[in-house]
Structure 1
Amino acid sequence: MTTEVRIIIDKMFEEFASQNIDGIVETFSDDAVCIYHGTQIMPAAKFKGKEGVRMFFEFNINALRVVYFNKTQFIEEGNKVVVLGNEHFISNEDNSHIRNSWVQVYTVTNGLISRMEEFATSAQPEQYGGNAGGQ
């Protein structure tokens, strides 16, 4: 069974897949906060309000070409949805490849996304240390 909270998150992802910035922004509240914690390649950033949401997604859609964007798991509890996934983009500026694994945490308040927080890494398996290394 799909919850009301999940329906909002799914709608946002549908609009992102369609590259419909206005549709994405409509799924966020006026006082929304988007926090991107950054990776080894992309710097951390914080955006507030619908204008901030628009800035965040305009950059993602206009500066990067999507090779893949996979949502691999959804975890729902109350008004929160945690999404695990991975992505591969190509920069329009220099054709560099950006591959990330990520966790996105969404909070929905009064039928709109009020907070989105993303934790990501661009480290590839062969770059990991520890006793398992790149395994």
Structure 2
Amino acid sequence: MKAILNVIWLVFSGFWLACAYMLAGLILCVTVIGIPFGIASFRIGLFALWPFGREAVRRPGAGAPSCVGNVLWLLLAGWWLALSHVVTGVILCVTIIGIPLGLANFKLIPISLTPLGHEIVSTSRPFAARGDW
């Protein structure tokens, strides 16, 4: 079922959202200071391309630098990427078939706002490996 949802997702919104993340990553990688943010954008762009069967979890040990980086990310790219998830999610939720895809868009909003200090893991991994206890 995950594969079917991922293919439908790719056709209706995943490709365009991944392109937005890749564009943001390219723009952020222009400066040396922006490279960590660009890498985070590329990582989340791949997550937005194929989201079903994966989730974002907090990385243990992410401290103050990731918090400061998240504030900068929010100002530079996070707000418009989150806005694209909101718009796409609302459009997809108009139809009954699109509701799971719209909910997946809403699931991507928190990670698009604050990506640093998170990692993308498979949902098929054991709970202890994902940080759930």
The structure showing larger relative contact order (alpha-carbon pairs under 8 Å, at least 6 residues apart) is: 2
Higher helix proportion (structure 1 or 2): 2
Give the alignment's TM-score, normalised by structure 2.
0.30
